[in-house]
Amino acid sequence: MDCFEVTGGTRLEGRVRVTGAKNSALKLMAAALLATGRSTIDEVPDILDVTIMSEVLRRLGCEVSYDRVPGSGGGGRLSIDVPEKPSTETDYDLVRKMRASINVLGPLVARCGSARVALPGGDAIGSRGLDMHISGLERLGATIVSEHGFLIATAPRLTGASIWLDFPSVGATENLVMAAVLAQGTTVVDNAAREPEIVDLCRMLTAMGARIDGAGTSTITVEGVDTLSPVEYTTVPDRIVAGTWAIGAVMTRGDVVIERAVGDHLSVALDKLTDAGARIEVLPVGVRVAMDDRPRCVDVVTLPFPGFPTDLQPMAVALAAVSTGTALITENVFEGRFMFVNELVRLGADIRIDGHHAVVRGRERFSSAPVLASDIRAGAGLVLAGLCSDGVTEVQDAYHVDRGYPDFVEQLRGLGATIERTQRPD
């Protein structure tokens, strides 16, 4: 078992570079399927999820290669050579490792007329439905059945339609836009997700020849085209990794310049940190976050973009747990996202959960103990907590963090943290 051993008591200080967003790169990789030939994507993070998505694409018949760029903060250039006739099946052994594999469904059915993608099942942050992906593709004319653990979609040619999403789902918006770009006629996706990663995907699709209007707003209009061409494209910086370093700087009363962080992509989170007492400066190279005193508790409510990101909620809870006062943290996106809280309680945090609310009463510091990372962001939150503990905190199942944070240990060490990766018998 892979662990992080984090020694508490140091402040994060210095500069850290953020490479491209995991949640964008994975979808850009799926989008490459829409055109025959070689697409290249820059600033792709060197993380486990990208390795899994590369394997998904290889099994669909693509040639995929990756070159790391030194000094990029764990990023690199990914080349994807897509055959004229990709295969159309993605197995459970890959989908269960990474739910975002489901994002090949839209491009495959649009491009090949059929797709067979394993159903992902539940995960550590709660049940995650696919109903909006399915009903949206049906509106576009696909026939979808669920058999033997697979979703099987068929459509000789998709046809544009008006689609209303009950919730601005990131994954459903992406799948439907990737399907609509090759559909016949006009598609309008209403109540669409507005995340910067959606805008990034639409930019890449537009560079491939797609006709898309309204990306970044709640109404996305897609005029279908017959074919798309491969592209060279650069992934948007990872706002969740940037936000993690920002919260880490505040928790440890540090001073960090987060290179390539985009202030506008983090406005609510940075406002909350200002309320907590931090000094935030938006610089031409990124964002600087500095903190002198113990932070003050601030209430946080997670919401789809531009609201406070659910992916930063575990770090917000960890921050409140070492701040002065009491904070109410409300989770509105994933029902199971407070499951990691019991691990913070093992570190001495005072947290009560009531449904989708957490009441956090701040304490001076955490008390080090072995804890278990249950997902990417919970793991990162626990490591930040370890930095504010009175000894050595062992965060077990470190591989979860590797799914989302390139060079995690090296980046933290570069900021002055004392952290080791260790192995432990299971």
What residues are annotated to the active site?
Answer: 123
CA distance 298 to 324: 9
User: Does the footprint of ligand UD1 cover residue 292 (CB under 6 A)?
Assistant: no
- At 216, phi and psi to the nearest 5? 95, -5
Q: Which tokens hold the place of 110?
A: 């649009």
What is the spatial distance between Cα 289 and Cα 250, in angstroms, rounded to a whole number? 7
Q: Which is nearer to ligand UD1, 253 or 403 (CB)?
A: 403
User: Which backbone phi and psi does 167 adopt, to 5 degrees?
Assistant: -140, 145
C-alpha span between 189 and 104 (Å, rounded): 19
- Taking the least distance from each CB to ligand UD1, the nearer of 133 and 400 is 133
Q: Give the nearest distance from C-beta 128 to ligand UD1 in angstroms.
A: 4
Binding pattern for the stretch 246-275 against ligand UD1, x by CB under 6 A and - elsewhere: ------------------------------
- Residue 171 touching ligand UD1 (CB under 6 A): yes
Contact between 117 and 136 under an 8 Å Cβ cutoff? The reply is no
C-beta of 106 vs 362, nearer to ligand UD1:
106
Task: Return the closest-CA partner of residue 243 out of 322, 299, 352, 318.
Answer: 318
User: What is the spatial distance between Cα 332 and Cα 305, in angstroms, rounded to a whole number?
Assistant: 12
One residue of 13, 68, 154, 167 binding ligand UD1 per CB under 6 A: 167
Residue 86, Ramachandran bin (φ over 0: left; ψ between -120 and 50: alpha; else beta): beta
274 contact partners, CB below 8 Å, separation of at least 6: 280
Taking CB under 6 A as the rule, does residue 95 contact ligand UD1? Answer: no
Residue 313 Cβ vs ligand UD1, minimum distance, rounded to whole Å: 9
Determine if 378 is a binding residue for ligand UD1 (CB under 6 A). no
Residue count at the site for ligand UD1 (CB under 6 A)? Answer: 18
Select 13 or 335, whichever has its Cβ closest to ligand UD1. 335
Instruction: Figure out which of the listed residues 104, 153, 158, 172 binds ligand UD1, where binding follows CB under 6 A.
Output: 172
Of residues 8 and 196, the one with the C-beta less far from ligand UD1:
196
Q: What is the closest distance, in whole angstroms, from the C-beta atom of residue 329 to ligand UD1 in the complex?
A: 15
Given 28, 30, 100, 387, the residue binding ligand UD1 (CB under 6 A): 100
Question: Is the omega angle on the peptide bond into residue 45 within 30 degrees of 0, that is, cis?
Answer: no
- Output the six-digit token pair for 195: 């995340």
Burial of 189 (0-12, 13-18, 19+ CB in 10 A): buried
Which x/- pattern over 304-343 shows residues binding ligand UD1 (rule: CB under 6 A)? ------xx---------------------xx---------
Distance (Å, whole) CA 8 – CA 390: 6
Decide: is 300 part of the binding site for ligand UD1 (CB under 6 A).
Answer: no
Q: What is the number of the residue whose Cβ is closest to ligand UD1?
A: 171
DSSP 8-state symbol, 298: -
Q: 126 to 145, contacts with ligand UD1 by CB under 6 A?
A: 128-133
The nearer residue to ligand UD1, 130 or 183, going by C-beta atoms, is 130
407 contributes a contact to ligand UD1 by CB under 6 A = no
- Beta strands 232-234; 37-45: pairing state: parallel
- Phi, psi of 219, deg, nearest 5: -125, 115
Note the residues at the interface with ligand UD1 (CB under 6 A): 23, 26, 100, 128-133, 167, 169-172, 310-311, 333-334
